[in-house]
Structure 1
Amino acid sequence: MNLLTFLPFIVLIGAMILMTRSAKKKQQAAAQMRDQMTPGTGVRTIGGMYATVKEIGDDTVTLEVAPGVHAIFAKNAIGAVLEDAEYNRIVHGTTDDLTIDTPVVPDDASSLTEKDADETPKLDLGKKDEPKDDEPKDGKADGEPGAK
């Protein structure tokens, strides 16, 4: 038989072997990441929920999702084990170790304007002024095609 007949099958088998290797490496990396979990560690689930590890079982992990609120998850549901600084920055909003060089923008935009409080701004809603009495409303003079 001709070698060209078997070439697509050979390429397909080679691609399958590469995909299997890649998937196995990802599984090993995820398992290694989950082995880093200890009670008190901040984690993110694959669903995007941030929590603190309370207990670790064989196949499950107990997470504290809010003070006094515990939930049991499969270990496979842990998407990332976070560093303490990153977890505190995301969950608690702390920026202790960050320096901010940019100016702080106020929540209230009224302090950004220098107009008096009595002065009300005019809003342009895109309407044109009403036509005068001597002008036709459709904007066409008498005798033009389409004039009423």
Structure 2
Amino acid sequence: MGSTLLTAQDRQTLVNVVYAAFPHSTFPRGPYERAADAVIAEAGTNPRFLAQLLQGLGELDAQRDVPFSELDADTAAAVLRGADGSPFLTAIVDSAVVTLYSDREVWDLLGYEGPSYDKGGYADRGFDDLDWLPDPKIEFEGEVPA
């Protein structure tokens, strides 16, 4: 997807931008690639965004001695912090966040079972079944309700 819009190097840079913006060491590459492809697809419908994307990816590659896609995670994160708030990065993040966290593979990795509305809602099916949080300490002042 998007092969006519971006070069292979540009796409790789975009995948790494999405990873640097939403780093999860336990996520495989697939969800990041699908999120990048969604950004590319959106850019394909918006010439202004496409131009902004191509320019921004080129600028990221030009900031260091090596392309952005070859930077280690800490350096890539530092480079993105320098672009924080820029229209280029904001557009990528706004597009990628929805695709990344709507990805069923990501849901499985995070332990999210998906929406519950078609199963009766959360009140009847485990709104309190989190096993990774400690039980809350409940204290009452005064009389304990009956």
| TM superposition score normalised by structure 2 | 0.22
Considering only CA atoms, is the larger Rg found in Structure 1 or Structure 2?
A: 1
The answer to which structure, 1 or 2, has the higher relative contact order (CA under 8 A, 6+ apart) is 2
| TM superposition score normalised by structure 1 | 0.22
Q: Which structure has the highest strand share of the two?
A: 1
Q: Which structure has the highest helix share of the two?
A: 2
